[in-house]
Structure 1
Amino acid sequence: ELLHQLTEGSLDELIHDMRPLPPRPAAEGEFLPPAPVPHIVIGREIANALNVSVGERIRVISPLLETTTPFGVALPKSQDFRVAGIFLSKMYELDSRYAYVPLTSARRFLELGAHDVSGLQVRVDDPDRSDTVGALAASVLSRGERKFAAVDWKAKNRTLFAALKLERVVAFVVLFLIVFVASFSIVNTLTMSVIERAKEIAILKAMGAPDVGVMKVFLVQGLVVGGVGTLLGAGVALAGAFALTRFRLPIPNDVYYIDTLPVHVGVWDIVAVVLAALVIVWDFAVWPALKGARLRPVEGLRD
């Protein structure tokens, strides 16, 4: 996966660093050969912040470890690495905080044993079940004396998903208010229709038309007006969404950290919006329909 995210450099140097170096004993009075500089792959944001490119050196400092200078001063341990590549994952948190080095170089820098690791990252077949797999792995690994913790991608990005969920709720509320306000125009249209057709309603009722029949006429009229508007709106929205998916609307990469506007068309979301709009239109059409059904023939003919 890292190979596909590389924008500059390659992983050949990292693979070369993983090979053990042959021992070379120094003869008496001979200077030891300089240790080779290990390689590192950094994110694009780190490269931009440090203003470095492939082939240049950077110094990695560990605040958890200390080293003593010849003057007896304790300083955080540091080591030079040569940039072998720059990756772009299109996630700001990864590109600004993560770097990759060979496991042997990391163990040597962090003063770990030959077989020690501080963590493992695994991928599951079903990402939606990562929390279940993580809890099961933690329970199995913690049966001994040492305790282990497992953090899945949902828990790690809980704040982001909470914000996205709140954004969806707010968007649904705004959409509901838009449909709610638009429904008043249907009420006004049906009310004016009842007033303008008062004589026709009176004649129909004088000829024996039941109140339920008159009410159905205006309910059907309200559903036709609302249904046509809803279907036209859904059609235009779908056409716009598919156009954005087809032509990839570009957006500023330095602001949103993505190149194009992502668009996802959810079938069930569209169905829910259409049904909700029709239900609201039906509810708002009831009052004008009742007003027309309750109109007395004498009042309609007199007016």
Structure 2
Amino acid sequence: MSIIKQFPYEWQVGVRYTRAGKRSGRNSFISFISMISVAGIALGVAALIVVLSVMNGFQKEVTDRLMSVLAHVEVFDTRGAMPNWQEQEKAAYANPQVKAVAPFVETQGMLLNDETMRPSVVRGVLPQQEAKVSSVAGQMKQGQFASLTPDSFNIVLGIDLAKALGVTVGQNVTLMLEREPRAGDSLNSMVMPRMRALKVSGIFEAGHNELDASLAFVNMQDAEQLLMLDGPSGLRLRLHDMNQAPQVARELKASMPGELWMRDWSRASASWYALVQSQKNMMFIILSMIIAVAAFNLVSTLVMSVTDKQADIAILRTLGASPFSIMKIFMIQGALVGLLGSALGVAGGVLLALNVGVIVPFIEGLFGLHFISKEIYQISAVPSDLHWLDVAQIGLIAFGLALVATLYPSWRAARVKPAEALRYE
């Protein structure tokens, strides 16, 4: 109390009104409503922190799985092939952010087995160098990634693609590729696709449905023969910091020789990240409404407080307090409630977000539930990735809404006329 007495009287009165002594049932009721407002703000803040942390966790989990197969930056030659890829590799390594480089050939085709046909992305790679830029070699469920040797015409399939085709290691599939029309072909003649039988030598599981259901690997030299190219399509780059990919792509565009175009991972997965971001934004808005409702409960609390304290306001006005000072008293009262609710919500939300891995299994075991289906999400535990910037933004928004909620009751308190307030006292 000695510390509080050193503050201006507006603070002293505002803190006292916030504590709302127990001398009357009405004061106790106002205090109870204030605590409800604190609890509402705290619950809304905690819920928003936990939900955003879980969504960040899912995004990080999926990103890690995407990046286990996708390159941070892909460099393509506009001529369709890059016969001097070793020179371009040296030029790429000149950038300090480039950690590893691997050549590749990529095309789209159809894989057939009996009457089953599936579209696929066929990527030709050198297994030893591919292992430097992706984690496919460590994701093999059957067979070996090193089985993609030159002239073997082996193929490694994603696990969902293999299931869809009904094949396993040792069986054959047929790759059907579009054939470009030749000079002697007439306009009305049917251009038959090129077809090649390939032996399934391995099956991988990246943990991402789109990749597992559409991606296949062959040896790069075999892919060059199939596509009749005199070199790889381009280079796949792994960076020290994947978040620098757009900037590194621009730098490589300026520093590497030849007519090249670059594609970084953020552009390759732009639609997926836009979807995730829109979902996060919608969830943020929806849960912010909970905080707003709780914050604006302060309006009713402060209106009741102003009505109950009219005599006190009149006495303060007759003692020389200005309307602004009266307004400040009730703004302080509401701000303290908002600050307390925000602080409790941040503390509770951070504690829950950091212990999701412990709390969720406990709830699942207690009620016999299972929140995450491994068959659908490819993960068995609820992930959580707490971002302190999100925590700061949520706390500030909750406190800001509480301040806005104090404006009308405080303005109403400042308009109380002393003579009318004391008429029936």
TM-score (norm 1): 0.79
Indicate if the aligned counterparts of 1:6 and 1:88 stay in contact, CA closer than 8 A: yes
Q: Distance in 1 between matches of 2:254 and 2:296?
A: 57
Q: How many pairs does the alignment contain?
A: 274
Match of 1:3 in 2: 137
The partner residue of 2:212 within 95, 98, 118 is 95
RMSD: 2.8
Spell out the pairing of 1:278-293 with structure 2 (5 A cutoff).
278-293=399-414
Residue type of the partner of 1:5? Q
Aligned-residue offset at 1:49: 1.0
1:123 has 2:257 as partner: no
**Farther off after superposition, 147-156 or 42-51:** 147-156
SS at match of 1:101: strand
1:108 has 2:242 as partner: no
> Once the two structures are superposed, what CA deviation does each residue of 1:256-283 show, in whole Å capped at 9, x if it has no partner?
3444333221101111111121112112
Q: Distance in 1 between matches of 2:356 and 2:169?
A: 36
Distance 1:230 1:97, change over 3 A: same
Indicate if the aligned counterparts of 2:179 and 2:191 stay in contact, CA closer than 8 A: no
1:255 has 2:357 as partner: no
Residue type of the partner of 1:267? W
Residue type of the partner of 1:264? D
The structure whose RCO (Cα within 8 Å, separation 6+) is larger is: 2
The partner residue of 2:200 within 73, 78, 83 is 83
Distance 1:100 1:65, change over 3 A: farther
Match of 1:46 in 2: 161
Q: Distance in 2 between matches of 1:64 and 1:93?
A: 26
Distance 1:141 1:204, change over 3 A: closer
Residue type of the partner of 2:406? A
Q: Distance in 2 between matches of 1:258 and 1:110?
A: 37
| Structure with greater strand percent | 2
Residue type of the partner of 1:196? D
Pair member with larger Rg: 1
Match of 1:183 in 2: 295
Aligned-residue offset at 1:176: 3.5
Indicate if the aligned counterparts of 1:65 and 1:77 stay in contact, CA closer than 8 A: no
Aligned-residue offset at 1:224: 1.8
Structure 1, gaps ≥5 residues long: 21-36, 67-72
User: Percent identity over the alignment?
Assistant: 28
Structure 2, gaps ≥5 residues long: 1-134, 182-189, 362-370
Q: Distance in 2 between matches of 1:204 and 1:139?
A: 72
Q: Distance in 2 between matches of 1:227 and 1:64?
A: 68
Q: Distance in 2 between matches of 1:56 and 1:10?
A: 15
Aligned-residue offset at 1:57: 2.3
Match of 2:419 in 1: 298
Residue type of the partner of 1:64? R
TM-score (norm 2): 0.58
Residue type of the partner of 2:302? L
Indicate if the aligned counterparts of 1:190 and 1:218 stay in contact, CA closer than 8 A: yes
Match of 1:270 in 2: 391
Match of 2:37 in 1: none
Residue type of the partner of 1:7? K
Residue type of the partner of 1:55? G
Residue type of the partner of 2:163? N
1:133 has 2:245 as partner: no
SS at match of 2:238: coil
Aligned-residue offset at 1:216: 2.7
Aligned-residue offset at 1:221: 1.3
Indicate if the aligned counterparts of 1:65 and 1:110 stay in contact, CA closer than 8 A: no
1:226 has 2:347 as partner: no
Residue type of the partner of 2:289? L
Q: Distance in 2 between matches of 1:102 and 1:87?
A: 15
